Amino acid sequence: MKLKEFESILQGVETFANPKYELEQYPTSPHIASRILFTADRSYDDIEDKLVLDLGCGTGMLAVGANILGSGYTVGIDIDSEALALANKNIEEFEVDVDLIQADILKICDGSNLFKSLHSFDTVIMNPPFGTRKKGADTCFVEAGLAMSRSAVYSLHKSSTRNHFEKKAKEWGVEFQVVAQLRFDIPKMYKFHKKESADVQVDLLRFSWPEGKFTIAEQDKKASTCVCEHENDKTQAVIPELDTSTPVNSTVNVNK
């Protein structure tokens, strides 16, 4: 499949009907989504046959696209039930194998230990909040992605934050790369928007664990199981192994 064909296919993914500003819900366009996924797959071999996680999946643009490119298994996580309902619709429309979990990624950073991951996924992809509503949300998402990935994290961030993330990568002990510089088109979505659209300069960043960081023994564990906890109530969201018969498109809520 060629890039233009892939982008054309993603045009059919339905985006937010009623975006929520408090969650910084700005849709990932088919143009940007296709380039993120194509680069991850063709340049780094991080999509095909891999366990892929879409953090803050919204309506499923990246998750659906990853599965179209041949991911071995894909999971999307988002806090917004309305977005997940639309993601479910997109999954059914495209007949792809994606499961969904409703959870608050930011709780990882506030001490509640929502996720206790075993580095269950090969690749994490995301278009996270820029951190304009909740300071540090962008950094939190990357930290969460690294906790759940055993290979690489692909994430979109304002170009103005590049130095910040380069420093953070050193602190985290991971490799840092600016894969591409893109223009993120933000249409007029909220009342305070004065222009019909605005271009924001963004970087596609790749954070990767050093080769050999995780042993073969660790990777051979039931790596497709993500154990989730909320406060004192332990709730396990089991992400099935690739050969299970768990229904596609099941949504597990771990916020209750």
What span, in angstroms and rounded, lies between the C-alpha atoms of 105 and 90? 22
Three-state DSSP state, 50: coil
Provide the token pair at 63. 């998750």
User: CA 74, CA 66: separation in Å to the nearest integer?
Assistant: 7
d(CA 163, CA 148): 24
pLDDT for 213 equals: 75
Q: In what order do the strands lie in the sheet with 51-55?
A: 175-187, 197-208, 149-158, 121-126, 51-55, 73-78, 98-102, 251-253
Predicted TM-score (pTM) of the model is 0.78
What is the Cα 241 distance to its own chain's centre?
19
Which residue type occupies 56?
G
Block means of pLDDT (10 residues each) for the chain, 256 residues, are 94 79 71 93 97 93 96 93 92 95 76 57 90 78 91 93 96 95 64 59 93 57 38 34 36 47
